[in-house]
Chains A and B, each alone.
Chain A
């Protein structure tokens, strides 16, 4: 195995931590001990090649996604391309928008293909790929602002529902955003699809031309950013309720469009303490339960 990647179990001896360059995965598989061991083995073997594969095609993956362009060669890269292609006609997006989800998805599918697992997750910095065997479920907690950790809600993902991918996008996160959402969390059938959708919806939560938002060309912050000279959000002043409503409504419109197109299962949009949920919550068993509602139940 290569020297660069770090592979180790976390101190609980149950979760696997894989790290290479900008990629950090926290993985947990559930099943017979031998199955879990086999899953971790195969995940590690696959992982050590992922970053090199991606970097071979990095320049291409940073270009705007278009239906005219040829497909990339790498498996992870193809997942990225497939996830962003549905947006190519209408939006600016590059395959990089789905990189975290695509890596998570690739590792998860490798594990599930090689071992009998009841459940598994691959968490790539908040973009998560899930596996659920019949009858299983995961409980997921949600945090609005990573710098002020506090759960605002939980959601239960059940095997008989379609979502197997979770992703979050927001201007406070590691990647640049064109929008002002603190966090847009998306449930989709695959992690890469969730990742791309969260980016698109996060960009749509916006107040164009508002003086309360500080933006800078992405290239000035990171010269090789795939966003080029596009203005990315650097700071958002306190917004009044009308502005919050306006920005969230714009995001919800996009989210609803993606929902109708079958690209996402549901989305939760957060901006300065306000939360909107888009998705057929009845059918999806009200999976996203904002704290606000729960807290009122206490009263």
Chain B
């Protein structure tokens, strides 16, 4: 027998254990030549680690039944010993009592979203990529850059085509990225002919390894309007550099109103209206979302008929992050000088007025045929009920916006959901919690499985496998005001346990 193996005598199996390995029980191991009992906490940590992809059970102290859950419940419930027993090992086959079994499986099946994706809003003016550019994760196309919004770049990721329409790798990469984004993890994305970004819900974006700090205060023209008065008299000309609309104080309506004299400045780019210029440079990740490093590169020569030596020029970006101060010499050529104290305040104020730049992630999914069939025997009635607002839709207890029109397509801010609320299936598709809440009478009227409705008390009293979480104070209570949350309202919103009635039987 090799020297480095040790013999474990904890049980009659008497395993020989090599260094760094455990015996057949996984409880005793050879740690640097010593037999050690693996600390229960270590085991527990491993369990928790594995639990990363597990969905917490959303429940409110004593009042909310736990059925509002995605498939993590299934796992938690199904593993049985797992959540409480430190030595737990997940079984590849999971079995449970019929009541639990049917419940779990129903939940699992119902939350599978093939038609889903995320809309990501990235607060930055930096150039991330052209509209319609492909966005990649792990080299696979998972979405595209869509139309930008105020101060923000927008990505549309996922969707059924990337999830199931492409190669298996494309589907897996898409599913992984969506899952991580929805669960609040950081995801690295690459935009074709654009930037490399790291996106995480509720965190500043990182663009080409630079963390974005602030949103711009406004477009260049808006910045002129906001700060014209504070600049008046302290400086002769101000250019607010912006990839969209660069503003020029002396030509801008706000400057004119104050009586700022013409300065003979010449901007490159296309003049839109007085003092407002488009396309002064190419998009980029530098000054005001342009590609310029030297602000003077967007200026032509000053007109000798209007400019004068000593003219004071401030150039600043829309976030105040970049700025430079110049004075014209005798040849009317700008020479850089230190920013005078009198102007420092206004630059600081631009920065101050920029809100923290964040990435925000909205999950968008469509609740389709079989999911609705889990709620009612006549699925379209559920859709009608939702669209007429008789039925409230929540996602892990968080409020959703239900898109008008046909079907039940909704959006939810993932940061308002419980942590790790999303799971996946290898299809690939995301598993997300979705709850339909309505009055029992309405439920009966739309063909619900009324006989299967369990009173809340029966669910709350059986404690196993249910994890209680405090409700988030910034979310409206899913059942209306908590005081009026009575038992005559429906406790189990989806079709609850019914022995002998399985989703798969209706294929």
**A 258-299 binary contact with B (CB < 8 Å = 1; else 0):** 000000000000000100000000000010010111111111
Smallest CB gap from A138: residue in B: B95
Q: Is the CB of A141 within 8 A of B500?
A: no
Interface size on A, as a range, is 35 or more
A232 contacts B by Cβ under 8 Å: no
A86 contacts B by Cβ under 8 Å: no
Q: Is the CB of A297 within 8 A of B507?
A: yes
Q: Is the CB of B16 within 8 A of A222?
A: yes
Q: Is the CB of B95 within 8 A of A17?
A: no
Check A143/B87 contact, CB under 8 A, given A21-B12, A151-B71.
no
Determine the distance from Cα of A291 to Cα of B12 in the docked complex, in whole angstroms. 42
- Contact with A52, one of B12, B81, B112, B172 (Cβ below 8 angstroms): B12
Smallest CB gap from B110: residue in A: A298
- CB-CB < 8 A to A127: which residues of B? 93
CB distance from A47 to the nearest CB of B (A): 13
A179 contacts B by Cβ under 8 Å: no
Q: Is the CB of B26 within 8 A of A51?
A: no
Most buried by A among B112, B368, B426, B507: B426
B444 contacts A by Cβ under 8 Å: no
Interface residues of B in 422-443 (CB under 8 A from A): 423-429, 431
Check A292/B500 contact, CB under 8 A, given A298-B115, A298-B371.
no
**A 160-195 binary contact with B (CB < 8 Å = 1; else 0):** 000000111010011000000001010000000000
Interface residues of B in 466-484 (CB under 8 A from A): none
Smallest CB gap from A272: residue in B: B168
Check A183/B92 contact, CB under 8 A, given A51-B12, A273-B426.
yes
Smallest CB gap from B24: residue in A: A22
CB distance from A102 to the nearest CB of B (A): 15
Binds B, one of A72-80, A118-126, A205-213: A118-126
Check A156/B89 contact, CB under 8 A, given A141-B94, A141-B101.
no
- CB-CB < 8 A to B92: which residues of A? 126, 142-144, 146, 168, 170, 173, 183, 185
Q: Is the CB of B114 within 8 A of A150?
A: no
- CB-CB < 8 A to B485: which residues of A? none
Question: What number of residue pairs across chains A and B have CB atoms under 8 A from each other?
Answer: 220
Binds B, one of A4-12, A38-46, A107-115, A248-256: A4-12
Interface size on B, as a range, is 35 or more
- Contact with A147, one of B1, B50, B97, B431 (Cβ below 8 angstroms): B50
A20 contacts B by Cβ under 8 Å: yes
Q: Is the CB of B81 within 8 A of A295?
A: no
B339 contacts A by Cβ under 8 Å: no
Q: Is the CB of A14 within 8 A of B101?
A: no
- CB-CB < 8 A to B16: which residues of A? 222-224
Q: Is the CB of B464 within 8 A of A11?
A: yes
- CB-CB < 8 A to B370: which residues of A? 294, 297-298
Smallest CB gap from A295: residue in B: B427
Determine the distance from Cα of A242 to Cα of B25 in the docked complex, in whole angstroms. 37
Q: Is the CB of B93 within 8 A of A24?
A: no
Q: Is the CB of B95 within 8 A of A149?
A: no
- Contact with B114, one of A30, A58, A296 (Cβ below 8 angstroms): A296
CB distance from B49 to the nearest CB of A (A): 9
**B 480-507 binary contact with A (CB < 8 Å = 1; else 0):** 0000000000000000000010111101
B230 contacts A by Cβ under 8 Å: no
Q: Is the CB of B81 within 8 A of A10?
A: yes
Check A223/B5 contact, CB under 8 A, given A126-B93, A296-B114.
yes
Smallest CB gap from B54: residue in A: A149
Determine the distance from Cα of A278 to Cα of B77 in the docked complex, in whole angstroms. 29
Q: Is the CB of B426 within 8 A of A298?
A: no
CB distance from A207 to the nearest CB of B (A): 17
**A 12-39 binary contact with B (CB < 8 Å = 1; else 0):** 1011010111101010101000000000
A128 contacts B by Cβ under 8 Å: yes
CB distance from B484 to the nearest CB of A (A): 32
Q: Is the CB of A221 within 8 A of B21?
A: yes
A70 contacts B by Cβ under 8 Å: no
Q: Which A residues are within 8 Å of any B CB, using their own CB?
A: 4, 10-12, 14-15, 17, 19-22, 24, 26, 28, 30, 51-52, 55, 58, 119, 121, 123, 125-128, 130, 137-144, 146-152, 154, 156, 166-168, 170, 173-174, 183, 185, 220-224, 241, 273, 286, 289, 291-299
A143-B75, A146-B50 given; name 17 further pairs at CB < 8 Å.
A12-B464, A12-B465, A24-B87, A55-B13, A125-B91, A141-B74, A143-B91, A149-B75, A151-B108, A154-B502, A173-B92, A222-B15, A222-B24, A224-B16, A273-B168, A289-B507, A295-B427
- 13 A-B pairs with C-beta separation under 8 A: A58-B13, A123-B93, A127-B93, A137-B500, A144-B92, A146-B92, A151-B94, A154-B108, A222-B15, A273-B426, A291-B425, A291-B427, A295-B427
